[in-house]
Structure formats: C-alpha cells, structure tokens
Structure 1
Amino acid sequence: MFQYMDQHYEAVDFSGRDLRYGELIRCTFKRCTFTSSSMEEITINQCRFIECNFRGASLNGSIHTESAYENCNFAEANLFVSEFNHCKMTGSDFAGAQLDGVTLVQGDWSYTNLRQARLAKQAMRGVRFYGADLSDANLEKADLRDCDLTSVIFGKAKLQGADLRGAKMDGIDFKTLVVKGARMDREQAVAFLRSHGAKID
C-alpha cells in the first residue's frame, strides 16, 4: 500500500501501473493517463483530476471523497461497487463503463455522458445531473429524489418504478419518458400531463 499526499502531477503516464489499495490525499493530476491501470480499492480524498484518461482502468471497490474529476475519460473503466461521496464529475465520459453497484452521495455530475449506464435500484438522492446524457440508461427503481435533472437527456431511458419526488425537471421532454410505476410529486405530474396535452384547472 502506498500513500501520496499534496503532490502535483502534469502529463504523467500511469498506464498499466499497479495502484491497488493506495491512498491519494489532496493531490492534483492534470492531463495524466491511467489507461488500463489497476486501481482496485484505492482511496482518493480531496484530489483534483483535470482532463485525465482512465479508459479501461480497474477502479472496482474504489472510494472517492470530495474529489473533482473534470472532463475526464472513464470509457470502459470498471467502477463496480465504487463510491463517490460529494464529488464533482462535470463533463466526464462514462461510455461503456461498468457502473453496477456504484454509490453516488450527492455531488455534481453535470454534463456527464452516462448513456446506457446501468443504474437500476441505485441510491442517488440529491445528485446534480444538470445537462447530463442519460439516454438509454437503466434507472428502474432508482432513488432520484431531490436530484437536479434540469435539461437531462432521457431518450429511451428506463424510469419504471424510479422515485423522482422533489427532483428539478425543467427542460425535460416528458413525452420521451417511460415512467410506469415511477413516483412523482404533484408539480412533476402536472408537467407530465401537460406535455401530453392535458388541460389542468
């Protein structure tokens, strides 16, 4: 096990490295590459990653707390049962990433690419997904209460049984949603009915 604290790295290539079980604290990584690296069960606290590449990295069981991943690439990365606590993930790409069992505790996931993500039954209460792409994502029975879902792309997403109460849903095309069994508050239900042509008195 290793521990890096208060370090700064720029354009460093960590590809294929064994970084398992390590700990990163208050470190900054700018345009660094972690492709296909082994980062299972790594613990990352208060770090910042800017335009870093994690394509194909193994991050299963990793724990991320109060860290930022801005415009990072997680394509095809393994994030099975990983945890993100109060993290900023804006603009990051999760195309083809393994997200089964992931835990998201609040945080900012605005403008992320989560197309086809499998997030069924996940607890994601209070997460900010402003402008994110969740098209074709499986969100069945997910807890999305109090999330900011403003301008989210939900094309063909599965929301059956999801809990949407208290979520901000401005700019959502309700006609594209499959919401059978979803729990909505009164304001959302009115918006949904109006999008289908109902007149509400």
Structure 2
Amino acid sequence: MRILTIALLALSVAAAPAYAEQDLLLGANMNTPAMTQAEMSRADIEALITKSHGQPIDLTDKALSGLDLSGLNLKGANLRTARLNKTNLRGADLSGANLEQAWLLKSDLSGAKLVGAKMFGVTARDANFSGADLTEARPIGDFKGANLSGAMLVNLKGGADIKNQSMGLMRTVFTSVNLSGANLKGANLGRSRLDYANLKDADLTDVVLMGSDLSGANLTGAIIAGADFKNVDVSGARLQSLKGHDSTKNWSSMVNADRAIIDKTN
C-alpha cells in the first residue's frame, strides 16, 4: 500500500499541468503516515553512513519526516522521492544530493550545503533555507513561502526548459519567498515565479529573469547590474534604490512597468 501511495504521489508530480500555475500538492494527501512519519531513525542513517565508507548512501523513497538529521554528511545521497517533511537538516551536507521529487514541506535546511543538488520536482513550501548554499543547484520545484534569506544561490539553474516538452513548463516557484540579502549572481530564473518575493538587498548581478513574474515583488536596494529583464512582469513591484541599473539588459521591455513603483531616476 505504501509503495502504491508514493507511486501515485510521484505520478501527480510528473503529470503536473503544463502551464504556469503548477501545484505539486494537487491531489496529494499530506496526512498519511507515509508523509508525516519516519521508517528509520537517525541512528539507522548514521549506521548507513558509517558502512558506506565515504560513498553516497541510498535513501530513495524513504519516509524520513520529522527526524533530526542536522549536521549529517549526506553528500551525494540519493533522496529521490523521499519524504522529509518537517525534518531537521540544519547544517547538513547535501552537496550533489539527488532530491528530485522529494518532499521538504516546512523542513529546516538553514545553513545546509546543497551545492549542485538535483531538485527537479521538489516540493519545499515554507521550508527554511536561510544561509544555505545552493550554488549551481537545480531547484525546479515549489518553494512557495520558503525562507532563503542570506542564501547562496550563485549560478542557480532554475530557468524553465521550454525545449523539453516532456517536462511541460515546470519551473521554479519562488512565490512569496524571502530572498532578502541572498546572493543570486549568474542565476538563471527565466520564466520563474517570483511574485510577491522579498528580494530586498539581494545580489541579482547577471541574473536571467527573462519572462519571469516579479509582480508584487520587493527589489528595494537590490543589485541588478547585468540582469536581464526582458518580458518580466513587474506589476506592483518595488524597484527602488536599485544598484547597477545602468547596465541592466532589456529594462525597457518589462511588462506592466507603468504599474510598478520605480524611482524616477531609473
């Protein structure tokens, strides 16, 4: 029964609608034991790490919700379709880990290392990634309401791949996400959802925002040198005290710029 339940959950993610408003929680029952309980203990996972002699461990499809896994070395671990809801991963090393279609609802990954992590189809609503390092990670998933304040998101690969029709239009959802003070240098967020996101004082140097939704977002004090604003919806967005405005790309092609709050000098 558990295998069937998770298979159906995975299917619901894979079959997400091929349009902008993806919702990876549609049809998912979040109150089942498979989503709220753990089938292993921290000691069990520590034993696996010890026996692996430095090799990545396999936790594919495991129910690990609610566990305290803080500080563990999970570098390269296979956590595909794992349930990690409300799990404490504070300071854990998940560099290069496979978190595709994993569930991280309300999990704590503050200060965690997720360098190069694979996060396609991940559901991480209301998760805490404050101060985490997601350099070159691929977070094509749902992070609505998450905290990424002060996070390292350099060269993040979050842009939608419209050439891959088998994946529809899956894209990074940063709706209402706290990205204040985050470092997004060189990140690709093309066609991503950043509506109502807090990007105050964030570093958006050379960020690809082409076709993204920044409606209602707060970019006050952000560094935008070299950022590409082609076809970006900025309705209701705060674009004030921006740094590096003179070197942005396609600033004049923003959508709904007349509805944004923009400094007269910009």
- TM-score calculated relative to the size of structure 2: 0.66
| Match of residue 25, structure 1, among 70, 84, 91 | 70
- In the alignment, is residue 64 of structure 1 matched against residue 109 of structure 2? yes
Deviations 1:86-143 (A, max 9, x none): 1011111112x12222222211011112233222333221111111111111222321
Question: 2: distance between equivalents of 1:190 and 1:21?
Answer: 44
Following TM superposition, by how much is the alpha carbon of 1:193 offset from its aligned partner in structure 2, in angstroms? Answer: 11
SS of residue matched to 2:74: strand
Deviations 1:29-55 (A, max 9, x none): 232201111211100122212211011
Q: Give 1:98's aligned residue.
A: 142
CA RMSD of aligned residues (A): 2.6
Which structure 2 segments of 5+ residues have no match? 1-37, 160-170, 253-264
Q: Is the 8 A contact 2:229 2:250 kept in 1?
A: no
Following TM superposition, by how much is the alpha carbon of 1:187 offset from its aligned partner in structure 2, in angstroms? Answer: 4.7
Q: Give 1:126's aligned residue.
A: 181
5 Å matches for 1:47-196? Answer: 47-95=92-140, 97-115=141-159, 116-187=171-242, 191=246, 196=252
Q: Is the 8 A contact 1:10 1:29 kept in 2?
A: no
Counterpart residue identity of residue 112, structure 1: L
Following TM superposition, by how much is the alpha carbon of 1:194 offset from its aligned partner in structure 2, in angstroms? Answer: 9.5
% identical aligned pairs? 19
- Which is strand-richer, 1 or 2? 1
Which is greater in Rg? 2
| Match of residue 16, structure 1, among 38, 56, 61 | 61
The count of aligned residue pairs is 196
Which structure 1 segments of 5+ residues have no match? none
SS of residue matched to 1:180: coil
- Which is helix-richer, 1 or 2? 2
Deviations 1:157-197 (A, max 9, x none): 1122321111111111344433233222255596379954x
Counterpart residue identity of residue 102, structure 2: A
